[in-house]
Structure 1
Amino acid sequence: MGIETSLSLSELNDRIAILRDNIRQLIEQAAGASGAEVEERISERLEQQNAELEKLLNAREAMTGGG
């Protein structure tokens, strides 16, 4: 069980919104990035953010009973 299970629905929604904004910003950075190292770091960060978003979405779905 992660921290997402101890959050309120409002806190989950806030974190989901923050992660979605982070992902949007990373995608914008990736579009303007040059160099393999920079692209690799952005790609790794995107993977981390997407994994965290998935966990929070699943926690919210479990809390609300679905869709």
Structure 2
Amino acid sequence: MPDAAALAELDERIAIARANLAELMEQASAFSGAADEDRNADRINEQQDILDALLKQRAALAQ
């Protein structure tokens, strides 16, 4: 049986990562310039990698 506390913690971290991604997407659309776009793209990719890893952890734990 999955550990409910661990699942709850992962759910919270997933929600934070999703909120970070949404905020970064808003910032990316507001900024202009190649340097800003590259920096935002890097930050978005980093957050997406974190979210993907958390979702993978959660799926493994929930089994």
What TM-score results when the alignment is normalised by the length of structure 1? Answer: 0.84
5+ unaligned residues in a row in structure 2: which ranges? none
**Equivalent residue for 1:47?**
45
Partner of residue 21, structure 1: 19
Partner of 2:31: 33
* Structure with more relative contact order (C-alpha pairs < 8 Å, separation 6 or more): 2
Shift of 1:62: 0.4
Question: Match of 2:61?
Answer: 63
The list of structure 1 runs, each at least 4 consecutive aligned residues, that deviate by more than 3 angstroms after superposition, is none
In 1, the alpha carbon distance for the partners of 2:53 and 2:40 equals 20
Q: TM-score, normalised by structure 2?
A: 0.89
Question: How many residues of Structure 1 are paired with residues of Structure 2 in the alignment?
Answer: 59
Identity of aligned residues (%): 42
Gaps of 5+ in 1: 1-6
Question: 1-side partners of 2:13 and 2:40: how far apart?
Answer: 20
